[in-house]
Chains A and B, each alone.
Chain A
Amino acid sequence: MSAGLWNYMFEGLLVTLQLTIFGAVLGLVFAFAAGLARLSGNKLLRGMGFAYTEAFRGLSALVVLFWLIFVLPTVFGVQLAPLFAGVLALALNIGAYGAEVVRGAVRAVPRSQIEAAIALNFTPWQRMRKVVLPQAVVAMIPSFSNNLIELLKATALVSVVFLSDLTFGAQLVRASTGNTAGTFGLLLVAYGLIALVFTTLMRLLERRAAASLGRTVPPGMIARIFRRTEASA
């Protein structure tokens, strides 16, 4: 494979990482906004949160992307940069799933914690920020970790709208080399490695979060392997 072809793959990798990371950050914002809205005392906010989560959980990110790329410009005259459109479509989709995670985790914080906060005369917002959310976030991380991998997989969809991500790069390489098995094999390994890096990072985050409640979680697979090699060294 020539250096030029490698370049396609590498640039594609960067696009895939950008889609995943920016999509995750924006998706997190949507998830908290919608998840907390659904728990709000305000009927309008609750309704908006509900409408968003129900609508976007049922919609394929790809369909949303088609709208952003092809419908917005023709109907509304708004042309989004393809990368931004990709990030937005993925974030809207993953944010809807994340909203359910946020809502579930917040509701799972025992009522007795809120009562203790009331007994200390915290304001409703302080109760949320100081007592409920710090505990809820710890419970969210394992689910967010799954969502992140789903997001990574969904990024492959965007290559159909001419975004040159990793999958798109691989298709170029395959077309010019004719080596289907080799190229897609490489693709498989690349996604697998990215997923492994993300899960490992999330696992670290999970451990730190657990430590913030004074708990310890058993070390993950990677950490165990490292520990073993240290021990045998």
Chain B
Amino acid sequence: MTEPSAAAAGSPGEKATSDDGFIVFDQISKRFGKNVVLDDLSFSVGSGERVTLIGPSGSGKTTILRMLMTLTKPDSGRIRVGEDYLYHEQRNGELVSAGEQHIRKVRGRITMVFQQYNLFPNMRVLRNVTEAPVHVLGRSQDEAEERAKELLDMVGLGDKLRAYPSQLSGGQQQRVAIARALAMDPDILLLDEVTSALDPELAAEVLDVLRDVALSSDITMLCVTHAMKFARDVSHRVLMFDQGRIIEAAPPAEMFDDPKQERTRTFLESVLDET
């Protein structure tokens, strides 16, 4: 994967990247009742690539991330992550619906940060970050705590280890959620409007943290955001969704400065009006 420094410096520079198909959506469809949200959607994301998903409300961005996180099951089609299908497994040479064990194995490479943080209110900050590494990854308590403290320091919350989530501001909670996700050493990080619930100032703190994470790691990132500056700085490629289809895909500079589709242009204008 290309280093994003050029993009971070604001130069339009590098093109969207070679795509080795690390994550592949293959003819994915999803409907809720009569509402067809995704219709035969196919796209792929390269290993280490950072992709921003934009598009109007209801265009299916969250649904896509939730499918990868195994929170929403596609009606048809396949999703491949690395060598494995997410919802299918090989059995006797046939591709069949995957069992819980297979899903957990593939899901172990992926984690997600949510718009509403979703910290566990019954655990202090440190334990929010150590619980899954200890009980899911099998790390020792000491090892997990050491790593958690590093991560919490990194997000600027090294002094809040013993606080409960309810005692933190939204921005602080979201930074804990980021530390909690990173503690799982994910290959793939999903971010769904992680700053939408925050005041601009707190949102900026969170985005700064995420920018550092993005630019100093090779985690593959799928990010839904309205923070266009952030998208420009960190993403290799922007996908514009409308009604469950990708209507335009381009590196951020190109997408934001010179969109090809009229629909993209009006959408970007409406987002700029908001902010």
Contacts and interface: CB of A to CB of B under 8 A. Distances in A.
A197 B104 CA distance: 48
Contact of B136 (A120, A131, A138): A120
A106 to B, nearest CB: 14
Contacts of A213: 121-122, 164, 166
A118 interface: yes
A214 B118 contact: no
A124 B107 CA distance: 14
> Contact residue range for chain A?
20 to 34
A123 interface: yes
B118 A112 contact: yes
B70 A118 contact: yes
B111 A119 contact: yes
A212 B71 CA distance: 28
A134 interface: yes
Nearest to A214: B164
A184 interface: no
A120 B165 contact: no
Interface string B152-190: 000000000001111100000000000011001000000
Nearest to B115: A112
Q: What DSSP secondary structure best describes chain A's contact surface? A: helix
B84 to A, nearest CB: 14
Contacts of A60: none
A212 B184 CA distance: 25
Nearest to B135: A126
B120 A131 contact: yes
Given A115-B118, A130-B135, A213-B121, A121 B166 contact: no
A204 interface: no
B68 to A, nearest CB: 10
A116 interface: yes
A167 interface: no
Given A121-B108, A121-B136, A214 B165 contact: yes
A116 B167 contact: no
B114 interface: yes
Contacts of B114: 112, 115-116, 119
Max chain B C-beta neighbours (<10 A), residue from A119, A122, A124 = A119
B111 A120 contact: yes
Contacts of B69: 115, 118-119
A115 B166 CA distance: 19
Interface in A190-205: none
Interface in B119-133: 119-122, 124, 131-132
Interface in A98-135: 112-113, 115-124, 126, 130-131, 134-135
A215 interface: yes
A157 to B, nearest CB: 38
B112 interface: yes
B166 A214 contact: yes
Contacts of A119: 69, 71, 110-112, 114, 181
Interface in B60-83: 69-71
A113 to B, nearest CB: 6
A122 B70 contact: no
Contacts of B135: 122, 126, 130
B225 interface: no
A70 B104 CA distance: 54
Given A121-B132, A121-B184, A116 B121 contact: no
Contact of B121 (A122, A126, A214): A214
Interface of A: 112-113, 115-124, 126, 130-131, 134-135, 138, 212-215
14 contacts: A115-B71, A116-B119, A116-B120, A118-B71, A119-B114, A122-B132, A122-B136, A124-B100, A130-B120, A131-B122, A212-B122, A213-B122, A214-B121, A214-B124
Given A118-B107, A121-B108, 11 more contacts: A112-B118, A113-B120, A115-B71, A115-B114, A118-B71, A120-B136, A120-B184, A124-B100, A212-B122, A214-B121, A214-B164
